[in-house]
Chain A
Amino acid sequence: MAAPKKPGIRWHIVVFLAPAVLVYTAVMIYPLFATLRLSFYSEVDQERIWVGLQNFRTLFGDAIWSEQFWNALANNAWFFLIHMLVQNPIGIALAAILSSPRLRFSAFYRSAIFIPTILSFVIVGFAWKLILSPIWGIAPGMLDAIGLKFLYQPWLGKEEYALTTLSLVSVWQYVGIPMMLLYAALLSIPDEILEAGECDGITGMAAFWKIKLPLILPSIGIISILTFVANFNAFDLIYAAQGALAGPDFSTDILGTFMYRTFFGFQLQLGDPHMGSTIASAMFVIILIGVCIYLFGVQRRLRNYQF
């Protein structure tokens, strides 16, 4: 009986991995570390010098910087909260309704709800700005038609409403994503389980709460973490709708716009790549902590059901 030949280096693995690894390194890993590195430097008299943690001390210790940072972080947290409270429950509800076999035209609804997701944020930002505009918008007219004109406010221009309004616009745009993911998860639940439940008298809403929802919990977890990462990296919608100063009075300023303004500068404010990178690094750490809490705190407790 011949001894099994000792396998050599399996080159095909390296060859097949190489394209992905190289591309990922060039466009993701290298820029990430370059940004982290940049945040430890500062520019004095046209020369880049190592300053250690000084930039972070400025960001958190100097009142001018830290006030803006905490304001942006708090706004970002509110932005995320609205998504969790509005986008994901609506996504779950839509997925549950769509997966009902008795619903007609479900393919049409599915596409219609998903379409905003593939629109450019610029289109979404400008379209909603026009819809809500006090001058040309259709919102005041529509409210007037049903006798609720008194409810109308120039929402995007008022500090107390602007951020919530933009969060809801973002929810409108992205609600298709949790819907699609959960729809797929719901379809993958075998009919046998539901039928077994029916035999035990669990039907209708009870079947959703007691059988389907627990089975799609892992998907909901994944969606929550995706929402978290996307929200804390958000920038585009706010920039398209309110500009880099995130008005009124910084009430819609989130970490992304704060970072952009600092890194690239704005109007007379000159760009500061080093402080900008410092903010970017802080964002990276915040997202990393959030993801770790999820992975170690939540993901491990989710049970995987084998069918």
Chain B
Amino acid sequence: MKTKSIKGALLASTLLVATGATAQDAELIIESWRNDDLSIWQNEIIPAFEAEHPDIKVKFTPSAPAEYNAVLNSKLDAGSAGDIITCRPFDASLALYDAGHLADLSDLEGMANFSDVAKSGWSTDDGSVTYCVPMASVIHGFIYNKEAFEEVGVEVPTTEEEFFAVLEAFKEDGTYIPMAMGTNDQWEAATMGYNNIGPNYWKGEEGRTALIAGEQKLTDDGWVAPFRQLAKWGAYLGDGYEAQTYPDSQNIFTLGRAAIYPAGSWEISGFNAQALFEMGGFNPPVQNAGDTCYISDHTDIGIGMNAATDNPEAAKTFLNWVASSEFSTIFANALPGFFPLSTAPVELKDPLAQEFISWRDKCESSIRSTYQILSRGTPNLENETWNASVAVIKGDETPEDAGARLQQGLASWYAPQQ
């Protein structure tokens, strides 16, 4: 009798445990390309979320940035992708939504915290459906070595003329490489070069939307002028810049061998950890003193839900939390340089990050010119811009020829430009 009841109790308890486990633990897997952020997600973001929602377990599984799109597409097609998808801005994610891989999140409560501009990176062309929660943007500008500036006795430049005077001063002095950038990996020349300095010439959103509407051409002065400036950069980039890779440039700057680094704000956390000198930032110099300045404040990371997830409710809970100011504060301070897009105010502690975000107040914000709609066809405008920027810096192509080639490529498939 006694043994029987013990057996019964044991059986009942195992059943309870088993059912309890299935009802409780929804596991969410996050796909991401931010493998640099693995420790931040594991040590700060996920514990904060799990403390509030003990019934949901979250796992962050990033892959290499260059392979992310390819890996994610194959996983989604094979049905083995995670529940939460980190979204690239614009077409890459739009294609996923069109293919039914990303769920419509327009009705998510947290979406109210974002402006239309912030949502533009992850909305359909007509803006009716938003399929990813905007997470962060990156701001372009220049990071400089304060000690080097003091040593050589130059001031932070505000105009193009002053900028080249500073570069020339460093070149003459010879202690520092004036500017750390290479052309081996190509994208820096376009992202940290062309799209960094460009908004000052094409007047930010005004030029960008006019280009999309077909009212301006890439051969117009506003679009060729950035190439003219890039053509002058080559002389200040240090020996062998043709074979210098992106990590090479980062190391040259953080080792204190270069004075200026054309940057995206995502570098801030890495540079803080590496550099032993004090760093400052300045926004891209304008043409003439007193001109309005424009910056590239690019919507970079969003986060959405796999339409085929087994745990849609848990995923929505998580996404609502990502849209909250609690997440924004943790994220922005754990990763200075990725600026939250939500309208809720967030306090930043890092001085360099504060410098970058202060430009939002004094300059006009825009996003990278090639990202929305214009890189949909073949040839791909973004990839062509990489190539053209490199060719111009190396002196293989004149700024005018580069502009004409890009325009020809774009006009070959984009109706408003024909």
> Do these two chains really belong together in a complex?
yes
Q: How far is the CA of A65 from the CA of B242 in the complex (A)?
A: 27
Q: Which of B8-16, B89-97, B295-303, B323-331 contacts A (4 or more CB under 8 A)?
A: B89-97
User: A267 to chain B: which residues have CB within 8 Å?
Assistant: 69, 187, 382-383
User: B120 to chain A: which residues have CB within 8 Å?
Assistant: none
Q: How far is the CA of A245 from the CA of B389 in the complex (A)?
A: 14
Instruction: State whether A135 touches B396 (Cβ < 8 A).
Output: no
Partner of B95, one of A133, A136, A159, A270: A270
Q: How far is the CA of A145 from the CA of B322 in the complex (A)?
A: 57
B114-133: CB near A (< 8 Å → 1, else 0) gives: 00000000000000000000
User: A242 to chain B: which residues have CB within 8 Å?
Assistant: 184
Instruction: State whether A135 touches B383 (Cβ < 8 A).
Output: no
- Chain B interface secondary structure, helix, strand, loop or mixed? helix
Q: How far is the CA of A73 from the CA of B121 in the complex (A)?
A: 37
User: Which interface residue of B240, B380, B412 has the most chain A CB atoms within 10 A?
Assistant: B240
Q: How far is the CA of A243 from the CA of B394 in the complex (A)?
A: 19
Least CB distance, A72 to chain B, in whole angstroms: 15
User: B183 to chain A: which residues have CB within 8 Å?
Assistant: 157, 247-248
Instruction: State whether A268 touches B371 (Cβ < 8 A).
Output: yes
User: Which interface residue of B90, B100, B242, B383 has the most chain A CB atoms within 10 A?
Assistant: B242
Q: How far is the CA of A244 from the CA of B386 in the complex (A)?
A: 13
A163 interface residue per 8 A CB criterion: no
Partner of A271, one of B73, B371, B394: B73
A132-171: which have CB < 8 Å to B?
Answer: 132-136, 140, 154-159
B162 interface residue per 8 A CB criterion: no
Contacts A64-B378, A129-B245 given: A245-B184 contact, CB under 8 Å? no
**Interface residues on chain B, number (Cβ under 8 Å):** 44
Instruction: State whether B240 touches A269 (Cβ < 8 A).
Output: no
Instruction: State whether A157 touches B98 (Cβ < 8 A).
Output: no
User: B244 to chain A: which residues have CB within 8 Å?
Assistant: 133-135, 154, 157
A249 interface residue per 8 A CB criterion: yes
Least CB distance, B310 to chain A, in whole angstroms: 24
A250 interface residue per 8 A CB criterion: yes
B244-280: which have CB < 8 Å to A?
Answer: 244-245, 248, 251-252
B102 interface residue per 8 A CB criterion: no
Instruction: State whether A64 touches B90 (Cβ < 8 A).
Output: no
Instruction: State whether A135 touches B90 (Cβ < 8 A).
Output: no
B369-408: which have CB < 8 Å to A?
Answer: 370-371, 375, 378-380, 382-383, 386-387, 390-391, 394, 396
Instruction: State whether A64 touches B379 (Cβ < 8 A).
Output: yes
How many A-B pairs fall under 8 Å by CB? 108
Partner of A268, one of B99, B100, B382: B382
Contacts A132-B243, A245-B186 given: A265-B391 contact, CB under 8 Å? no
User: A154 to chain B: which residues have CB within 8 Å?
Assistant: 239-244
Instruction: State whether B240 touches A134 (Cβ < 8 A).
Output: yes
Partner of B387, one of A135, A157, A250: A250
User: B37 to chain A: which residues have CB within 8 Å?
Assistant: none
Partner of A135, one of B73, B248, B378: B248
User: A271 to chain B: which residues have CB within 8 Å?
Assistant: 69-70, 73
A234-254: which have CB < 8 Å to B?
Answer: 242-245, 247-250
Q: How far is the CA of A67 from the CA of B91 in the complex (A)?
A: 25
B55-78: CB near A (< 8 Å → 1, else 0) gives: 000000000001001100110000
Q: How far is the CA of A264 from the CA of B186 in the complex (A)?
A: 19
**Interface residues on chain A, number (Cβ under 8 Å):** 32
B409 interface residue per 8 A CB criterion: yes
A260-303: which have CB < 8 Å to B?
Answer: 264-271
Contacts A154-B242, A268-B382, A270-B95 given: A135-B185 contact, CB under 8 Å? no
User: A140 to chain B: which residues have CB within 8 Å?
Assistant: 240
Least CB distance, B182 to chain A, in whole angstroms: 8
Instruction: State whether A244 touches B66 (Cβ < 8 A).
Output: yes
Instruction: State whether A134 touches B239 (Cβ < 8 A).
Output: yes
Q: Which residue of A lies closest to B371 (CB)?
A: A268
A46 interface residue per 8 A CB criterion: yes
Instruction: State whether B371 touches A249 (Cβ < 8 A).
Output: no
Least CB distance, B120 to chain A, in whole angstroms: 16
Q: How far is the CA of A156 from the CA of B251 in the complex (A)?
A: 19
Instruction: State whether A158 touches B242 (Cβ < 8 A).
Output: yes
Q: Which residue of B lies closest to A63 (CB)?
A: B412
Q: Which residue of A lies closest to B71 (CB)?
A: A264
Q: How far is the CA of A265 from the CA of B66 in the complex (A)?
A: 10
Partner of A265, one of B73, B239, B252, B387: B73
Q: Which residue of A lies closest to B387 (CB)?
A: A249
Q: How far is the CA of A46 from the CA of B99 in the complex (A)?
A: 6
B338-367: CB near A (< 8 Å → 1, else 0) gives: 000000000000000000000000000000
User: B387 to chain A: which residues have CB within 8 Å?
Assistant: 245, 247, 249-250
Least CB distance, B408 to chain A, in whole angstroms: 10
User: A132 to chain B: which residues have CB within 8 Å?
Assistant: 243
Least CB distance, B382 to chain A, in whole angstroms: 4
User: A158 to chain B: which residues have CB within 8 Å?
Assistant: 242-243
Instruction: State whether B90 touches A268 (Cβ < 8 A).
Output: yes
Contacts A135-B248, A135-B252 given: A248-B375 contact, CB under 8 Å? no
A46-77: CB near B (< 8 Å → 1, else 0) gives: 10000000000000000011000000000000
Q: A157-B241, A248-B242, A268-B371 are in contact. List 20 more A-B contacts (CB 8 A).
A: A64-B378, A129-B245, A133-B245, A134-B241, A135-B244, A154-B241, A155-B243, A157-B240, A242-B184, A243-B185, A243-B186, A247-B184, A248-B390, A249-B390, A249-B391, A264-B70, A265-B69, A267-B69, A268-B90, A270-B92
Sampled A-B contacts (25; CB under 8 Å): A46-B99, A46-B100, A64-B412, A129-B245, A133-B243, A133-B245, A134-B244, A154-B239, A155-B243, A156-B184, A156-B243, A157-B241, A157-B244, A243-B66, A243-B186, A244-B66, A245-B383, A247-B390, A248-B183, A248-B390, A249-B387, A249-B390, A264-B74, A267-B382, A269-B375
> Which residues of chain B have a CB within 8 Å of any CB of chain A?
66, 69-70, 73-74, 90-92, 95, 98-100, 182-187, 239-245, 248, 251-252, 370-371, 375, 378-380, 382-383, 386-387, 390-391, 394, 396, 409, 412
A-B complex: 7 closest residue pairs judged by Cβ atoms: A134-B240, A157-B242, A157-B243, A154-B243, A264-B70, A154-B240, A268-B382
